[in-house]
Amino acid sequence: MHSFQLVSREHKKDDTIIQLGTCNIGGRSTLIMAGPCAVENQEMMLELAPVLRNMGVNVLRGGAFKPRTSPYSFQGLGEDGLKILSDAGRSVGMPVITELMDARHCDLVSQYADIIQIGSRNMQNFTLLREVGQVNKPVLLKRGLSATIEEWLQAAEYILAEGNHRVILCERGIRTFEPFTRNTLDVAAVAAVKNLSHLPVIADPSHATGRKELIAPTSYAALAAGADGLMIEVHPDPANALSDGKQSLMPEELAVILKNIRKAKIA
Ligand code: PEP
Ligand code: MN
């Protein structure tokens, strides 16, 4: 018996496919989530949403509660940010994803988000995992900064064990000895988790590399390894972004990557 059961391939042989409006997460489709690291203002989100939708992005992302390493960094707009994100998504018919950091905000975030994101730093916040396990919304569970594959799957098990089976796993890089990149994208983990679990797995090359010039190659690598989708940070003016500007692509740069993915039929 594994330390995880419900998430395992032994328990369920077929891929889990999560339906979200008109898109499927898992199975054969490749799901693209994109948007800024943080929701900064309404104008930016209303302008970005149609641009992203028209290039084939499926889910609009944007943080309203930001887990910043320094308490003096921009912490997000909170509920105002949730409203702006949800309005922008609704304006173009796109589902939205945003991070839930605190169990006390679970009802609030659930009112606005179509997918609830559990960030890397909270992967083993078991209270929070149990809480989203009781919510009727898909959950994106990011791999912890230094979590093993088994610990990550056990964290997902907490959510399924509470009754919520709509979990998407996200490989977002792990901490290694290499400082050139922000983290190290564990491509092998994507393939390994696809074997070990029936849950959809996506990759986040933005947080994995921290460098915009590495987003394209690592996106292709993750999809080639079997990822069911990508989460990529995009900002209209990366040099002035309030967070993660160095790893943020301009919308037109993402469009090129998405075109290449389709052309090469990696997905
Ligand atoms: C994010 O996606 O906004 C984020 C903070 O990512 P992570 O939890 O992977 O650091
Ligand atoms: Mn970010």
Q: 142-171 pLDDT, tens per residue? A: 999 999 999 999 999 999 999 999 999 999
**Nearest Cα to Cα of residue 244 among 152, 179, 159, 182:** 182
User: Cα dihedral sign for 47, 52, 55, 56?
Assistant: negative
Tens-digit pLDDT profile for residues 90-125: 999 999 999 999 999 999 999 999 999 999 999 999
Cβ(207) to ligand 1 under 6 A? yes
Domain that holds residue 154: 18-264
Q: Answer whether residue 89 shows pLDDT above 90.
A: yes
CA distance 247 to 234: 8
Q: Which of 139, 142, 242 to mutate to test the pocket of ligand 1 (most atoms within 8 A of CB)?
A: 142
CATH number, position 231:
3.20.20.70
Q: Which of 37, 101, 168 to mutate to test the pocket of ligand 1 (most atoms within 8 A of CB)?
A: 37
User: Cα dihedral sign for 18, 63, 259, 180?
Assistant: negative
In the predicted model, what is the mean pLDDT of residues 237-243?
98
Q: Is residue 11 domain-resident?
A: no
How far, in whole angstroms, is CA 62 from its chain's centroid? 10
Question: Is residue 266 very low, low, confident or very high in pLDDT (cuts 50, 70, 90)?
Answer: low
CA distance 8 to 157: 9
Q: What is the DSSP letter of 13?
A: -
Name the pairing type of β-strands 23-25 and 18-20: antiparallel
Element (H, E) at 60: strand 59-61
Q: Is residue 12 domain-resident?
A: no
The tally of domains found in the chain comes to: 1
User: Cα dihedral sign for 173, 194, 102, 59?
Assistant: positive
Atom of ligand 1 nearest to the CA of 66: 5
In the predicted model, what is the mean pLDDT of residues 250-256?
98
